[in-house]
Structure 1
């Protein structure tokens, strides 16, 4: 059966459950704007563009990516929180703004990550790699931590900014290993990586998509991966669990959201369209090539997961005195 017919039947069935198919407006009746709160070229942006193209094809309307970076991502997120709840403005939200920022912010954010959004589903999830310079002479996590213990505060780690996933991973590693690691925040992962390559900092947690080519070229060395399994592209790199630090397991993810008051029929259609999109071989191949994995955490399952994860990192932030004003 053609995709457009399946889409129509699904939407009409959902509309009937919501209170009568005859009263449901056509959806989508114009292009859908997908707000991405990061700059073009980021991991979230790349995944969002790949998924948006296929979802737009299945929905019969173009899904247009609109990058709204700034204020740690809060600007773009707030745009969607305040948008009309008709399903024509959606958010590609990363775990950094839906989990980490609410967990560590002292000030009241302009959005509520749970109350202001209806979760559609995660589109990708990726572990982080703990990397050091290729010419650093450090060949393992054990060697890195031994150096940190020998001279507390000398070993530094770069992050994309305060309270980002890489920062919190560094804090967690310091806590678990009983070492003093010096945090050096940057304005984004790019400048952080430049200084890592130049030897100004000693280590960094970064995504596979940003580091794989440099690792293969010998410019960086991966010591551990924060996923529960080894990466197919780097089978020799052990997981943090294998190295005795299972609490360091963390996936950075990106998910789609609609404004909270979106009609149930529209939300159901978007959720099912995303589910089918993530089963598409070209989309799966594209995400895997980025170092991400297609994810199928849909709807309330996503909401429950982000709440659980937020509490984990909120506790760490309190224990380590980390807060954003």
Structure 2
């Protein structure tokens, strides 16, 4: 009997050792589809970027990355959904700086999450400068012209944004402060509506991403008068930067980053960061991002969080000096 049990125990041990690699492979992350929540409407810059990168990351990791839009409340609905998700790596956030950096600063009420503590930063997908674009009906053709008109008619010149507390809103506030003018902010429920009213002459100005603005500039429907980038935008070489025009503090960018809920296992985060880096340097994805006037920063993990906190400090000062508070 002892010999029998000894042989049986040996056989069981051998089988368990043989099956261990298979079990580990089954459990390796990811072993099911990954959901990527975008807090904007379909077609917005963050949504388009998230879809391009998610497809490439899915190819890298051998699983589907499914993008789901949850817009509303300035982005807080989608962001909160990820903050409350299980920290297992299967629910991610593609978050724009408007929602991650700006929204918590401008709101008077406390959000149900902490943008710096409730997320594990994976990496920056891309950053984008803004073009300051004028309607044809406004008659504004360059920045000195804008400033002269604004000083002659305080509060009469309007500028749109995708909503209160967004990058374009606060860029307009900062331009007003630095140039000593008063522009009137007109918020919209998304960039498409603001762009339509700019072309229709309902509003005079809009800070917009190059990928969104340039088709209308090139068709003659709108006029690009300045760029917020450090150097001139490649696809708009005739448009001067705000830095060139005497406003270096307006060298500013929006960005979209990928996040997981805080507490996500380090192994999953490492795989996600590696897959994001590979995806961003896949020729097709890289070409797509750069063609839209965006940059690839190669910022991951703590480096991304450090940039986020730096921008929070900057915009907090602008919001305080301009007295911007939203309910």
Scaled by the length of structure 2, what TM-score is found? 0.90
Cα distance in 2, alignment partners of residues 299 and 25 from structure 1 = 24
Asked whether the equivalents of residues 103 and 311 of structure 1 are also in contact (C-alpha less than 8 Å), the reply is no
Asked whether the equivalents of residues 102 and 310 of structure 1 are also in contact (C-alpha less than 8 Å), the reply is no
Asked whether the equivalents of residues 234 and 293 of structure 2 are also in contact (C-alpha less than 8 Å), the reply is no
For the pair shown, the structure with the greater C-alpha radius of gyration is 2
Matches within 5 A, 1:1-325: 25-325=27-327
SS of match in other structure, 1:255: strand
SS of match in other structure, 1:38: coil
Displacement of 1:290 after TM fit? 2.4
Asked whether the equivalents of residues 284 and 293 of structure 1 are also in contact (C-alpha less than 8 Å), the reply is no
Displacement of 1:291 after TM fit? 2.5
Q: How many residues align?
A: 305
**1:172-222 CA-partner distances (Å, limit 9, x unpaired):** 000000011111112212221222111121111011111111000011110
**1:8-66 CA-partner distances (Å, limit 9, x unpaired):** xxxxxxxxxxxxx9799411000110011111100000000000000000001010001
Asked whether the equivalents of residues 135 and 219 of structure 1 are also in contact (C-alpha less than 8 Å), the reply is no
Structure 2 gap ranges (5+): 1-22
Cα distance in 1, alignment partners of residues 275 and 232 from structure 2 = 30
Question: Aligned pair in 2 of structure 1 residues 229, 49: CA closer, same or farther (>3 Å)?
Answer: same
**1:251-272 CA-partner distances (Å, limit 9, x unpaired):** 1111100011001111111111
Displacement of 1:314 after TM fit? 1.1
SS of match in other structure, 2:103: helix
Structure 1 gap ranges (5+): 1-20
Asked whether the equivalents of residues 129 and 209 of structure 2 are also in contact (C-alpha less than 8 Å), the reply is yes
Asked whether the equivalents of residues 134 and 225 of structure 2 are also in contact (C-alpha less than 8 Å), the reply is yes
Asked whether the equivalents of residues 56 and 63 of structure 1 are also in contact (C-alpha less than 8 Å), the reply is yes
SS of match in other structure, 2:94: strand
Cα distance in 1, alignment partners of residues 286 and 296 from structure 2 = 6
Runs of 4+ in structure 1 displaced over 4 angstroms? 21-24
Scaled by the length of structure 1, what TM-score is found? 0.91
Asked whether the equivalents of residues 122 and 297 of structure 1 are also in contact (C-alpha less than 8 Å), the reply is yes
Higher mean alpha-carbon deviation, 60-69 vs 284-293, is at: 284-293
